[in-house]
Amino acid sequence: MLDKNGPGPRDHPEGLGLSFLARDLVKTPSACQHPHRADVMKILLVEDSYLERHKVGAYLTEWGLDHVAVGSGTEAVKLLEAPEPPNLVLLDWMLPGLDGIDVCRRIRKFPSGGAYIYIVMLTAKNRKQDLLKAMEAGADDYLAKPVDPSELRARILVGKRILELQQSLCFAATHDFLTNLLNRAEILAALQREFSRSGREDKPATVILADIDHFKRVNDTLGHAAGDEVLKEVAKRLKSDLRLYDVVGRYGGEEFLIILPGCDVTVGARRANEIRNLVGKDPIQTPFGTTSVTVSMGVTVTSSTRDHSISDFLHEADVSMYAAKKNGRNRVEVFSAASQHAGFGQG
Ligand SMILES: [Mg+2]
């Protein structure tokens, strides 16, 4: 999700100083990268011998593989615990301090939810019990030293294939197949995390429920295939204005949930309006005809001073979204206790 090379999301002034949020998000399954991304693999070479490190590093450079090299197990663990860690490790067994086996065991104890780290142990040991020990500690493969370039390249190819498979599975399990947004379970998990953090750090988070207006009409007039195209395009537009640590998911059929960490109700309502404008601004072209859609949005905000649960906040967003429908659609309504008492939740 963090792409240093590609264009970043727009920087909103209220987002300054909130980079810690991105750090937390990359430790979650929602961070599963799209498997078709080019930068699926980043290599960490851990080797205390300067000569070996330079030799293997030179092969990786020659093959155009993105990598970093360190000379100790301690440095390796530090890098692997940081955000966006390398996901393929070429790990020397004999190292000063933490050795390769220690590093393997540490990696396998990382909390689940982070991306899988594939480990190739580099070793001069070739007794069968040694190899078994490495595999038991968590290594995926091993390579005899001195390293032979063809063999190294073969092992890296296998690792890349496994990582791609793992990312495809992870992405499929956490994302909506049609829109590529987070699926319902994942956006609710993200809301739970955000809710907990909001309480812990005493920072608000805006929750927006967006529903496409008269979506049934699109299906009825242009057909369900056109409806799918509209859902995809709306998802794209919803996502286009978000910051790195905002999250959006498909909540139901034509309903989307957006979480804006750190945004109080004023900022949240303003951003909801900007997103609403963006969705409705241009017509949507589909192979079955052109159409225009708008969204109605309900906005609420989490706060540590309110004794509420996730389902209370979802209910508030829902009540406000129905208020937006009742008040003419293509608009944003912010939750207030008054709107609930007015019975807008019944629509
Ligand atoms: Mg060594």
CA 71 to ligand 1 centroid distance, Å = 9
CA distance 86 to 39: 11
* Predicted pLDDT at 39: 65
pLDDT digits (tens, 9 = 90+) for 119-151: 999 998 878 888 899 999 999 999 999 999 999
| Residue 51: both structure tokens together | 């000569």
What percent of the chain lies above the pLDDT cut of 70? 84
C-alpha 51 to ligand 1 mean position (Å): 11
> Does residue 21 carry a pLDDT above 90?
no
Report pLDDT for 15.
37
Mean pLDDT of 24-43: 60
pLDDT for position 265: 92
Ligand 1 centre distance from Cα of residue 62 (Å) = 23
* Cα separation, 207 vs 193, whole angstroms: 13
* 13: preceding bond cis by omega (within 30 degrees): no
Residue 328 contacts residue 213 (beta carbons within 8 Å): no
Cα(280) to centroid of ligand 1, in Å? Answer: 60
CA–centroid distance, 48 to ligand 1, in Å, is 5
pLDDT tens track for 43-90: 999 999 999 999 999 999 999 999 999 999 999 999 999 988 999 999
Tell how far the Cα of 93 is from the centroid of ligand 1, in angstroms.
Answer: 6
The whole-number average pLDDT for the span 216-230 is 96
Q: Where does 31-173 sit in CATH, by number?
A: 3.40.50.2300
Q: Rounded CA gap, 290 and 64, in Å?
A: 44
Q: Which of these ranges, 35-49, 194-208, 210-224, 313-327, has the smallest mean pLDDT? A: 35-49
Expressed in angstroms and rounded, the spacing between residue 294 Cα and the centre of ligand 1 is 62
Average pLDDT rounded to a whole number, residues 91-99: 95
**How confident is the model at residue 54, as a pLDDT?**
96
Q: Is the pLDDT of residue 327 over 50?
A: yes
Neighbours of 11 (CB within 10 A): 10
Residue 274 identity (one-letter amino acid): E
Please report the DSSP string for 72-135 in residue order: SHHHHHHHHHSSS--SEEEEES--SSS-HHHHHHHHHTSPBTBPP-EEEEEES---HHHHHHHH
Contact 226, 288 (CB under 8 A): yes
Which own/partner contact pairs does 228-235 have at CB distance under 8 Å and 24+ positions apart? 228/178, 229/284, 229/286, 229/287, 229/288, 230/284, 230/286, 230/291, 230/293, 231/178, 231/179, 232/178, 232/179, 233/284, 233/286, 234/279, 234/284, 234/293, 234/295, 235/176, 235/179, 235/180, 235/181
| Calpha distance 284→33 (Å, rounded) | 27
User: DSSP assignment of 185-229, as one string?
Assistant: HHHHHHHHHHHHHHHHHT--EEEEEEEETTHHHHHHHH-HHHHHH
Going by pLDDT thresholds of 50, 70 and 90, the confidence category of residue 5 is very low
Architecture of domain 184-346: 2-Layer Sandwich (3.30)
pLDDT value at residue 40: 74
**Ligand 1 mean position, distance from CA 297 (Å):** 59
Query: Which of 10-14, 22-26, 195-199 has the highest average model confidence (pLDDT)?
Result: 195-199
**204 Cα–ligand 1 center, Å:** 49
Mean pLDDT on 278-299: 96
Residues with CB under 5 A from ligand 1 (ion): 48, 92, 94
Q: What span, in angstroms and rounded, lies between the C-alpha atoms of 232 and 250?
A: 10
Tell me the mean pLDDT in the region 313-329: 95
Between 307 and 166, whose confidence is greater? 166
Mean pLDDT of the chain: 86
The Cα 92–Cα 72 span in angstroms is: 9
Nearest to 123 by CA among 102, 96, 141: 141
Ligand 1 geometric centre to CA of 4 (Å)? 32
| Residue 325 Cα to ligand 1 middle (Å) | 66
**pLDDT above 80 (res 98):** yes
Query: Domain spans of the chain?
Result: 31-173, 184-346
Assessment of whether the complete model's pTM goes beyond 0.85:
no
Q: Are 85 and 117 in contact (CB under 8 A)?
A: yes
Comparing CA positions, the residue from 281, 182, 195, 314 lying closest to residue 239 is: 182
